[in-house]
Chains A and B, each alone.
Chain A
Amino acid sequence: MLAALVGRHVREAVRAPGFAVRVLLGLVVLALATLATSGGMGGAARGLAGGAALFAFAAAAQAASAAAVLPADRREGRRLWLGTLTPPAVAHRVAAAAAGVVRIAGAALAASVVLTLALGAGPGLPRLDRESRSAPRAPELLRAVRGDQASPAEVTFDAQPVARRLALDLRPVLLSFDASPRAIDIDVRAGTTGEPQRRKVPVRGVVVFDVPPGTDSMQVVSRSSDIHLRVVSARLLSPSDLPSVLVALLVALSIALAVASVVPWAVSAARFTSAPTAAGLTGCLLLVGAVGRPLLSLVTDIRTADWARGVLEGVTSLAPDFGLVDGGRALLEGRVPDALLSHAGSSLLVLALGFVVLLLPGGESRSET
């Protein structure tokens, strides 16, 4: 019964006017965007991130479309007719949400094929890194300042005979009101005896450093006396043994899962709203889910008004955390599977809870037209 209802929704979506043209155009644009962004610095990882971002928009459109199914059924009288049949109202809600999830999963499979082909034809699939473990915990406030009180931030770990990478989440501590840097000059040194390398890094965010074989520590220090560095987190990355052909599939499915987790909630809202309102609510949920946490972190850092932070905290606590921004950043750093899969669990939980909410009775009449 449920399969019949899901099949009906999927058939109707696939046979919508212009569906084949839209799919073809979308896949072509996805391939071109992946190839275009994979040129220059970053190469394959940047191309993968670009393609993934585009796919996230396409998946979001599918989610919004799924949210519009129930209102359309009511508006066009199908709901009344179906309401005279055996399946209860809850079956229709669950089927609408399940069909949305199926459509997003289908889009993910198609996108992963295109991503694989585009990257294979261009720069090749990106090298995968696995977060083997967190580096030894740094002090809560690890500061490094240049000058007379030069005190490099040192992160230590076990030495290994293979090359690895170290991902440091760095935040600036500005000591002067005049200091408003767009980038920070730092010195980074492998071990305690290596030659310091000068690097320009973003004001905030994760920076990845190469760790030569046999190295057991890395030191970073700011070159400016006006700026301290705070190391928020440190993680060691080592090459993954995951087959690289699965990279694009993992990326697409992780994003698809995150976006799909909103679908049952959107369908729940659509029980009481029109199709445009339901689609708009879906967009808002996805937007907050994608950028809410990074925005909250930024607000916390710049010490804004308490009420503003409170509002943002309230909104982000209502929306599921997709970590899409973190995931995109991780892609650029070549940390493909772990960064994305870290959100898979929470996405699955949100998805399951959404279907539980769909089972709740009330609110929708079988006679709605």
Chain B
Amino acid sequence: MTAGTGSQADGEALVEVRDAHVDYGHGAKAVHALRGATLDVRPGECVALVGPNGSGKSTTLRLVLGLVRPRSGSVRVLGGAAGRRAARASTGFVPEEARRFGRLTGRETVDLFARLQGVGPRPARRQRVAAMLEAVGLEASALDRAVGGYSRGMARRLALAAAAVSEPRLLVLDEPTSGLDPHGVDDVLRVVAAHVARGGGVLVSTHERVTVEQGCQRVVALAEGRVALEGSPAELLAGDTSASLGPLFRRALGMTP
């Protein structure tokens, strides 16, 4: 169990965050969202990013996606700067709130993402879209309904399908199992496991213990913008019989579990 030492997995890292500092705002009102975070995601592993609210999980995801830039430190994704075209083409993202395209159907939404990520030609794309929708467990009757009418769980499955349809090397997931029933959690974890088995990398922000234990090979616990704890789920959750990640959060914050 280490603090901010990077990965022990083999292979060239898909994501390399080194001593990253991110501020929102300027001067006295600046909010220090990240204060020297360091982490890696390597091929064939799923890294869980855990921590209490405000610990810097979402900022770390945005950093990897190239949506924010570090004040200092470095971020490399797939061997280059985060946010460049090649990185975006090989990255799939599932946002926390996924009911964004409410007037499109589920099938149209995934097809839109496939087209934008360059999946083609049309017959192959349609097959890929159908396969992905089946993989995430969306009911066939829902595929041609407007996404605005989807439940939260259905929307999360759809977002995962949209993110994974282009078979990116890196998946960045923000609370992918939040609001899902156990069956839905299993579907999501199955897609994640398949992606990892193909040699892809996954960086997932989560509050769900089941996601950490069953889906991830490594856990990075953030507290106040820093990597407080890092290790395998077995290491970090050993002896912890709680159903939640609460005790782990308290340890990350330096509090008595």
A positions within 8 Å CB-CB of B: 1, 4-5, 7-8, 11-12, 15-16, 76-78, 80-88, 366-367
Which of A12, A85, A366 is B113 in contact with, Cβ under 8 Å? A85
Q: Are B117 and A85 in contact (CB under 8 A)?
A: yes
A12 engages B116 (CB within 8 Å): no
Measured between beta carbons, the chain B residues less than 8 angstroms from A4 are 112, 115-116
B62 cross-chain contacts in A, Cβ below 8 A: 367
> Does A86 lie within 8 Å of B89, measured CB to CB?
yes
A12 and B88 CA atoms in complex are apart in Å by 25
Residues of B within 8 A of A1 (CB): 115-116, 118
| Segment of B8-16, B63-71, B126-134, B242-250 in the binding face | B63-71
Asked if A367 and B116 make an inter-chain contact with CB atoms under 8 angstroms apart, the answer reads no
The answer to whether A81 touches B95, judged by C-beta atoms less than 8 angstroms apart, is yes
Which of A16, A77, A84, A87 is close to B100, meaning CB atoms less than 8 Å apart?
Answer: A77
For residue A8, which residues in chain B have a CB less than 8 angstroms away from its CB?
101, 104, 112
Report the minimal beta-carbon distance from B113 to chain A, rounded to whole angstroms.
7
Interface size class of B (residues with CB under 8 A): 20 to 34
Compute how far the CA of A4 lies from the CA of B118 in the bound complex, rounded to whole angstroms: 11
Query: What residues of A have a CB within 8 angstroms of the CB of B95 in the complex?
Result: 77, 80-81
B85 to chain A, nearest CB (A): 6
Q: By the criterion CB–CB under 8 Å, are B101 and A366 in contact?
A: no
B108 and A11 contacting across the interface, CB-CB below 8 Å: yes
Distance A1 CA – B111 CA, assembled complex (angstroms) = 11
8 Å CB contact of A366 from B66, B91, B103, B172 = B66
B83 at the A/B interface (Cβ < 8 Å)? yes
Per the bound structure, the CA–CA distance linking A60 and B226 in Å amounts to 52
Q: In the complex, what's the smallest C-beta–C-beta distance from A284 to chain B, in angstroms?
A: 29
In the complex, residue of chain B having the shortest beta-carbon distance to the beta carbon of A83: B67
Residues of A within 8 A of B89 (CB): 86
- The yes or no answer to B146 lying at the interface (CB within 8 A) is yes
Are the C-beta atoms of A366 and B67 separated by less than 8 Å? yes
Asked if B100 contacts A78 (CB within 8 A), the reply is yes
- Interface status of B97 (Cβ within 8 A of chain A): yes
- Can you name 12 extra interface pairs (CB under 8 A) apart from A8-B101, A86-B89, A366-B67? A1-B115, A1-B118, A4-B116, A11-B108, A12-B101, A12-B103, A81-B95, A84-B67, A85-B88, A85-B113, A366-B83, A367-B62
Q: Using Cβ atoms and an 8 Å threshold, which residues of chain B touch A76?
A: 100
Which chain B residues lie closer than 8 Å to A87 at the CB level?
Answer: 116
Q: Is the CB of B104 within 8 A of A11?
A: yes
How far apart sit A5 and B101, CA to CA, in the bound complex (Å)? 12
Whole-angstrom distance between the Cβ of A12 and the nearest chain B Cβ:
5
The interface residues of chain A lying within 8 Å CB-to-CB of B91 are 84
Asked if B67 and A11 make an inter-chain contact with CB atoms under 8 angstroms apart, the answer reads: no
Cα of A308 to Cα of B29 in the assembled complex, Å:
45
A1 to B108, alpha carbons, bound, how many Å?
A: 14
Picked from A16, A78, A80, the residue with its CB within 8 Å of the CB of B101 is: A78
Q: Are B66 and A86 within 8 A (Cβ)?
A: no
Interchain CA distance A87-B89 in the complex, whole Å: 9
How far apart are the CA atoms of A1 and B115 in the complex, in Å? 6
User: Across the interface, do B103 and A367 meet the contact criterion of CB distance under 8 Å?
Assistant: no
Chain B nearest CB, measured from A14 CB (Å)? 8
The complex places the Cα of A281 from the Cα of B117 at a distance, in Å, of 34
Asked if residues B103 and A16 are in contact (CB atoms below 8 Å), the reply is yes
A86 lies within 8 A of B101 (CB)? no
Please pick, from B65, B68, B101, B146, the residue contacting A84 in the complex, using a CB distance under 8 A.
B65
* Nearest residue, chain A, Cβ from B162: A81
Q: Mark out the residues of chain B between 29 and 83 whose CB falls within 8 Å of any chain A CB in the assembled complex.
A: 62, 65-68, 83
Which residues 133-148 in B have Cβ within 8 Å of A in the complex?
Answer: 146
- CB of B116 within 8 A of CB of A85, answer yes
With contacts A83-B67, A86-B117, A366-B83 taken as known, whether A15 is within 8 angstroms of B103 at the C-beta atoms is yes
In the complex, the chain B residue whose C-beta lies closest to that of A76 is: B100
Closest Cβ of chain A to B7, distance in Å, is 23
B85/A86 in contact, CB under 8 A: yes
Chain B residues with CB under 8 Å of A11's CB are 103-104, 108
B100 to chain A: which residues have CB within 8 Å?
Answer: 76-78, 81
Q: Check A77 against B97 for contact (C-beta < 8 Å).
A: yes
CB-CB under 8 A from A83, the residues of chain B are 67
Q: In the complex, what residue of chain B is closest to A85 when comparing beta carbons?
A: B116
In the complex formed, the residue of B with least CB distance to A13 is B103
A1 to chain B, nearest CB (A): 6
Contacts of B65 in A (CB 8 A): 84
Q: How distant is the Cα of A362 from the Cα of B97 in the complex, in angstroms?
A: 28
**Chain B residues within 8 Å of A5, by CB:** 116
| Chain A residues closer than 8 Å to B66, beta-carbon distance | 84, 366
Q: Kindly state the separation between the CA atoms of A86 and B91 in the bound complex, as whole angstroms.
A: 9
Known: A11-B104, A81-B100, A367-B62. Is A86-B146 also a contact (CB below 8 A)?
Answer: no
Query: Of the candidates B68, B104, B117, which one forms a contact with A367 in the assembled complex, judged by CB atoms under 8 Å apart?
Result: B68
By beta carbon, the residue of chain A nearest B109 is A8
With A76-B100, A77-B97, A80-B67 as contacts: A88 and B85 at CB distance below 8 Å: yes
Chain A's nearest CB lies how many Å from the CB of B158?
A: 12
Q: What residue of chain B has the Cβ atom nearest to residue A15's Cβ? A: B103
With the chains together, A11 CA to B67 CA distance in Å?
27
**CA A84 to CA B162, docked complex, whole Å:** 12
Most chain B CB inside 10 Å of its own CB: which residue of A76, A77, A81, A88: A81
* A160 smallest CB distance to B (angstroms): 58
Chain A nearest CB from B219 CB (Å) reads 24
Q: Which residues of A contact B83 (CB under 8 A)?
A: 366
Per the 8 Å Cβ criterion, residues 164-212 of B in contact with A are 172
Query: Which residues of the partner chain B approach A367 to less than 8 Å between Cβ atoms?
Result: 62, 67-68
